[in-house]
Amino acid sequence: MKAQRPPELMSSPAIRIQDLSFGYGEGDFELRIGKLEVGRASSAAFIGPSGSGKTTLLHLIAGITLPQSGKIETNGVELTGLSENARRAFRIKNIGLVFQEFELLEYLTVLDNVLLPYRINAALELTEAVRERAANVAVEVGIGDKLSRYPSQLSQGERQRVAVCRAVVTEPAVLMADEPTGNLDPRNKGRVLDILFDYVETSGTTLLTVTHDHDLLDRFERIVDFKELLS
Ligand code: ADP
Ligand code: MG
């Protein structure tokens, strides 16, 4: 699984944030970051108290939301200058997201859940090669024999692995996981991280993970503590 990236972008870091300021329309929450860079082919853990803005920052880096001021460059693309459509196209091509609640569709099989990005985004073409890749990642994470099951017929750990497969099947340059181990027992926690880190190693992807599991932090190259970031 090798992510395809234009070579001219490789010299920039995967994430570069400068003088960022963000607030929601309502409420007095404010996220301010002077400078934050995360290198390519590396891993960073976002830690900090609940409500400190970890999920908000992932959304800004993915171009889901825009800051009031400042710059956000993800995979060499300055997001704040792009229209909503352009950011959506950017996201489809560059970002893989694993949500805390997995967000699997109960009426689709495991295989169709993994292939979902190709079903909902016209920009992604569902080719034979993609189907093969989907089957291969499923085998790699240990759910290769469960492709025709439905999510309700899977264990929690297996559901999580489907979500991981779906996030990596498009070969994203940036892989994001928002508390991916939140609901898992220790053995499955370790397994999910193994899968994410294996992918980072083989693909050159950058991994951004929000986590509350301090016993998992040793595995990350970089720890971004929101308590310090925001002070
Ligand atoms: P974390 O992921 O670190 O727990 P979040 O990024 O989810 O924190 O939230 C940061 C703050 O922004 C919280 O105070 C939260 O209530 C607020 N917030 C999150 N989403 C919205 C929204 N859509 N509208 C208004 N406030 C929000
Ligand atoms: Mg959160």
Cα–Cα distances in Å, from 138 out to 92, 141, 142?
20, 5, 6
Q: Where are the alpha helices (DSSP H) in 5-151?
A: 54-61, 84-94, 110-114, 116-120, 128-140
Q: State the distance from the centre of ligand 2 to the C-alpha of 56, rounded, in angstroms.
A: 7
Token digits for 225?
């503590």
Domain spans of the chain, in order of start: 7-229
pLDDT at 53: 95
Q: What is the CB < 6 Å shell around ligand 1?
A: 24, 26-27, 29, 48, 50-56
Nearest ligand atom owner, CA of 24: 1
Do the strands 77-78 and 69-74 form a parallel or antiparallel pair, or are they unpaired? antiparallel
Question: Over the chain (231 residues), what is each successive 10-residue block's mean pLDDT?
Answer: 54 93 93 94 94 95 96 96 94 89 90 94 92 92 94 91 93 92 76 86 92 86 87 61
Distance CA 217, CA 212 (A): 9
* Mutation choice for ligand 1 from 20, 22, 24, CB with most ligand atoms inside 8 A: 24
Measuring from atom 6 of ligand 1, which residue has the nearest CA?
Answer: 53
pLDDT at 3: 54
Buried b (16+ CB within 10 A) or exposed e, 131-151: eebbbebbebbebeebbeebb
* Mutation choice for ligand 1 from 26, 28, 56, 230, CB with most ligand atoms inside 8 A: 56
Token digits for 202?
């083989």
Strand-pair partners of 21: 32, 69
User: Which atom of ligand 1 is closest in space to residue 226's alpha carbon?
Assistant: 3
Q: State the distance from the centre of ligand 1 to the C-alpha of 103, rounded, in angstroms.
A: 19
Q: State the distance from the centre of ligand 2 to the C-alpha of 179, rounded, in angstroms.
A: 7
pLDDT at 9: 54
Q: State the distance from the centre of ligand 1 to the C-alpha of 179, rounded, in angstroms.
A: 15
**Fold of the domain spanning 7-229:** Rossmann fold (3.40.50)
Measuring from atom 14 of ligand 1, which residue has the nearest CA?
Answer: 51
Three-state DSSP at 28 gives coil
- With a threshold of 0.75, does the pTM exceed it? yes
Query: Which residue carries 């891993």 as its tokens?
Result: 43
User: Which atom of ligand 1 is closest in space to residue 50's alpha carbon?
Assistant: 4
